[in-house]
Structure 1
Amino acid sequence: MTNVWSPEVVWSRPENERDGTPLIVMFHGYLSHERDLIGLAPMLPDEFTLASVRAPHALGPGYTWFPLLHEPEYSIDRVTSAVDDVISWLETVEQRHSSVTLLGFSMGMAVATSVLRRRPAGIDAVVGLSGFAIPTPSDYFADDALRARRTPLFWGRGDADQIITEDKIEFTNEWAHAATDLTKMMYTGLAHSINQAEMGHVAEFLRAKVLTA
């Protein structure tokens, strides 16, 4: 029997208050940790239960899901290993919830979109903030099935973001338009970060695409 990955998770609700609530699973960025994105809770609709997940690999001051794409240690296998672990864990918790939304920042968006691309069924929406989708063709991803579903995707980024390279942006734009029901927002003067205006739009997206769907 395969062991299920058991990550460190910060929840926004105690266990006895989670049943039947819509779930948002949060994936932090490179060198961050599970307590980072949970701070967005006050700007998200109260109906949701949030689960902020720690990446599996300790590195520097935080954690990472896989090596950076330009590093020699990077490979698509490192990505798929992380995604398989996330899916195995998600399958242990998702049955308790009325819907599942994935939210990722930076590298966390790569994780969220890769989980969606691997297993489109059961994912109601994805929120990607200042991030990208993995720009690598792979039979691992079920993009044909995703194109048939047109899962709602919110993709927000700032026009002053110097971290996410143009090739990743171009691939993500092409993929998202082709495979998802895309809501794309650009924020003037925003660097590699999140601002209140963006979170207001995320809340509107979640109410429209998840809570009233």
Structure 2
Amino acid sequence: MFLNDRLSLRYIIRKPIKSNNKILVKENNNSSKRSLFLMIHGYGSNEKDLFALAKDIPENFCVISIQGIYILNEDKYFWYDIDFSNEEKFVHVLQAKKTIKKINFFISEVINKYELNNNDIWLCGFSQGSILSYAIGLNNLNIKKVIILSGYLENKILKENKVLNKNLDFFISHGIYDTIIPISWVKKSLNFLKDKGIFSFFFKEYNSGHYLCNSNYKDLINWIKEKNIL
């Protein structure tokens, strides 16, 4: 594992592998290509955080975890500024929208570089990363699965007058003792999805704070394996 900076964003990767640990043969048929599993970390973290999940993610995925574009301090990054004291400015909308464009562009780069399936992209975000994952997934028709860990849907960063991607499957989890993102924000997000006709989601609350507890982790991995159709 090493930090790759040859594309527009820095990232680490676990390429799809066979049971014999050989790199999968590249295919010309898009349906036979491997799927991208893209990880987007939270505020003040880094690309190695969510990448710890890779050991339990099925080997047919190309797992990539990206590094935030802004530096908080040594080995800590973020995607846009946050005003923790002001709910209305919790998301720096302009920065977040620019970041979304950069991540979408990076997705296209990765798809081309590693010859992945452009029609079966998975997103996995924690906190700030999950806020971005909501927006990217709902505005990108190539996204099929979105994992929301301790996050919520921010309407302000969705593209205006854009047809929503309703062909999405969500895994949404949250700690009831989360003091960073209130559970009430999550409930509003679920209502938004229902109002837009999106009902394909798994949602569960956990006796935890702003982190991924063991039971949440187990449910997540089980969900990934159940939804993983080769």
The 3 A distance-change label for structure 1 pair 53 and 141 is farther
Q: Which one has a bigger Cα radius of gyration?
A: 2
Q: Name the counterpart of 2:23.
A: 17
Q: Which moved more, 1:169-178 or 1:99-108?
A: 169-178
Q: Name the counterpart of 1:57.
A: 70
Q: Which moved more, 1:192-201 or 1:24-33?
A: 192-201
The 3 A distance-change label for structure 1 pair 74 and 145 is closer
Report deviation, 1:22. Answer: 2.0
Q: 1:26 aligns with which of 34, 39, 49?
A: 39
Q: How does 1:122-161 map to 2 (within 5 A)?
A: 122-136=142-156, 139-140=159-160, 142=162, 144-147=163-166, 149=167, 151-161=168-178
Name structure 2 gaps, 5 residues minimum: 1-5, 27-32
User: TM (normalized to structure 1)?
Assistant: 0.83
Partners of 1:172 and 1:74 lie apart in 2 by 15
Query: Are 2:9 and 2:69, in contact at CA under 8 Å, matched by a contact in 1?
Result: yes
The 3 A distance-change label for structure 1 pair 184 and 60 is same
Q: Which moved more, 1:38-47 or 1:173-182?
A: 173-182
Deviations 1:66-123 (A, max 9, x none): 111556695322111000000011011225223210000011101111111222x111
Partners of 1:153 and 1:174 lie apart in 2 by 14
The 3 A distance-change label for structure 1 pair 103 and 186 is same
Report deviation, 1:141. Answer: 6.8
Q: Which moved more, 1:130-139 or 1:96-105?
A: 130-139
Query: Are 2:175 and 2:183, in contact at CA under 8 Å, matched by a contact in 1?
Result: no
The 3 A distance-change label for structure 1 pair 197 and 45 is farther
Partners of 2:178 and 2:194 lie apart in 1 by 21
The 3 A distance-change label for structure 1 pair 13 and 146 is closer
| Ranges of 4+ aligned residues in structure 1 off by more than 6 Å | none
Query: Are 1:135 and 1:172, in contact at CA under 8 Å, matched by a contact in 2?
Result: no
**3-state SS of paired residue (2:148):** strand
Report deviation, 1:209. Answer: 2.9
**3-state SS of paired residue (1:208):** helix
Report deviation, 1:167. Answer: 5.2
Q: Which amino acid aligns with 2:11?
A: V
Q: Which amino acid aligns with 2:53?
A: L
Q: Which moved more, 1:50-59 or 1:132-141?
A: 132-141
Query: Are 2:16 and 2:63, in contact at CA under 8 Å, matched by a contact in 1?
Result: no
- 1:168 is the counterpart of 2:185: yes
CA RMSD of aligned residues (A): 2.7
**3-state SS of paired residue (1:211):** coil
Q: Which amino acid aligns with 1:22?
A: S
Report deviation, 1:5. Answer: 6.8
User: TM (normalized to structure 2)?
Assistant: 0.77
Partners of 1:146 and 1:7 lie apart in 2 by 25
Q: Name the counterpart of 2:81.
A: 67
**3-state SS of paired residue (2:64):** strand
- 1:197 is the counterpart of 2:218: no
Query: Are 1:109 and 1:127, in contact at CA under 8 Å, matched by a contact in 2?
Result: yes
Partners of 1:134 and 1:22 lie apart in 2 by 27
